[in-house]
Amino acid sequence: MKKKIKISALIFIIAFMGIIIGRWSAAQNTDSIYEDLRTFTEVFTTIKKNYVENVNPHELIISAIKGMVNSLDPHSAYLTPEAYKEFQTETKGEFGGIGIQIGIKDGSLTVIAPIEDTPAWKAGIKAGDKIIKIDGQSTKDMNINDAVSKMRGPKGKPVTLTIQRDEWKQPKDITIIRDIIKIKSVKYKMIDKEIGYIKLIQFQEGTAQDLANALQSLKESGMQSLILDLRNNPGGLLQSAVDVSEQFLPPKHLVVSIKGRTGDKIDYYTENLRTAYTDIPMIVLVNQGSASASEIVAGALQDWGRALIVGVQTFGKGSVQSLIPLSDGSALKLTTAKYYTPKGRSIHGVGIMPDIVVKLESKNGKEVPVIREKDLEQHLKGEKVEPQEKAPQEVDEKDDTQLQRAIDILKSWKIMEKLKKAA
């Protein structure tokens, strides 16, 4: 009896919400919303009464919420309290899992890029791989958050991915041992004693400070020019992208603008709270895996003429997700705005086009699948259309023609500077 009362009360609350929303929407000529909510209530009660097995009313409503949010775009999501805690942990750069970025392409769960030095990367998972099963469970119609939850887990516990790759005749099972994913966001070294090389893996809370430390170390080692490698960097925190950009731009320079549905614009400028390297010759490397915060940095440095962008067209994720906590400890990760480069370019669905296009060439000459924002299911439409580059090709690190071209350009740059001084 108590259970029936609870269910009846739940139905009454849903119906009451429908009435309130219906009255509010009537003022905006959207009376059909009330009718839709009434249909929702009818479906809910019919399932609860007639479905062949007992169902949990709470789970039904959570599934309805997930379906509603998942219908918006690939980056919006409903996070349960547990998933919300995991998300907060991930932004700090540490979580249990295998280390890949995924999306939905042509109805299939697809790898956008493995994160360097993670179990997935070491196991040979590649961009474009289709994940058709996780531990034997089909991923057909599985949303991204559920897939991520299934791949996350305690350190040392295996997960088996069934992978379909274009060059394989049959899918293959790849078992990966989960680990604590501690993403070291900055790696650096000296090249030829004068060229500093910094690779940003992801934009986290501590990335800007780690970058500042790397720049200082390289400067002390004799750095005369710099290569900033943003290839396969999936992005991360917006503020981190601003804090990274300001280390290469003068004060009060616009880094990025965000604009929501209402048209209100928020501008992010450099403050230069750390040492800025505004004069050092600089090249930024990008590829199809450079997304979101990576594109903010590349776009800002390109628009201000601060660095030469080398590589291939980037991923094209120019949307901003806001994290909105809810009363029960869950949260909405909701796409609320698009970002624009200092010159007002919206790159969503298009990406950053390099100043110098350098494609990678594999030994077998085969092109690898490339996943970009425009390829994902239900992606937000871009505002401008530019020519699309063909897919870059896979290459071993020792055959990195993009990096080699950057080195050659910086060496030529130094020669030209010496000639100018001599003249």
221 has catalytic annotation: no
317 has catalytic annotation: yes
Catalytic residue (choose from 76, 225, 245, 292): 292
Judged against a pLDDT cut of 50, whether residue 92 lies above it is answered with yes
Judged against a pLDDT cut of 60, whether residue 164 lies above it is answered with yes
The neighbour count for residue 300, using CB atoms within 10 Å, is 27
399 has catalytic annotation: no
pTM for this prediction? 0.69
Looking at the DSSP bridge assignments, the partners of residue 226 are 196, 282
Judged against a pLDDT cut of 90, whether residue 9 lies above it is answered with no
Say which residues have a Cβ less than 8 Å from residue 56's Cβ, sequence separation at least 6: none
Given this model, what pLDDT does residue 278 score? 94
**CA–CA gap between residue 149 and residue 161 (Å, rounded):** 13
**Distance set, CA 410 to CA 257, 284, 307 (Å):** 31, 11, 11
Catalytic residue (choose from 303, 333, 374, 375): 303
**CA–CA gap between residue 37 and residue 14 (Å, rounded):** 8
pLDDT-above-70 percentage for the chain? 80
**CA–CA gap between residue 314 and residue 352 (Å, rounded):** 5
Given this model, what pLDDT does residue 286 score? 96
The neighbour count for residue 7, using CB atoms within 10 Å, is 15
pLDDT band at 398 (very low <50, low <70, confident <90, very high): low
Contact assessment for residue 17 and residue 36, using Cβ atoms and an 8 Å cutoff: no
**CA–CA gap between residue 53 and residue 330 (Å, rounded):** 28
Q: What is the pLDDT of residues 187-207, one digit of tens each?
A: 999 999 999 999 999 898 899
R_g (Cα) of the chain, nearest Å: 24
Contact assessment for residue 295 and residue 349, using Cβ atoms and an 8 Å cutoff: no
What's the mean per-residue pLDDT of the chain?
83
Contact assessment for residue 78 and residue 332, using Cβ atoms and an 8 Å cutoff: yes
Buried b (16+ CB within 10 A) or exposed e, 237-266: bbebbbbbbbbbbeeebbbbbbbeeeeeee
pLDDT band at 362 (very low <50, low <70, confident <90, very high): low
Say which residues have a Cβ less than 8 Å from residue 363's Cβ, sequence separation at least 6: 399
Q: What is the pLDDT of residues 305-340, one digit of tens each?
A: 999 999 999 988 888 888 899 999 999 999 988 889
Catalytic residue (choose from 317, 333, 338, 374): 317
Judged against a pLDDT cut of 90, whether residue 245 lies above it is answered with yes
Q: What is the pLDDT of residues 264-300, one digit of tens each?
A: 899 999 998 888 899 999 999 999 889 999 999 999 9
pLDDT band at 213 (very low <50, low <70, confident <90, very high): very high
pLDDT band at 90 (very low <50, low <70, confident <90, very high): low
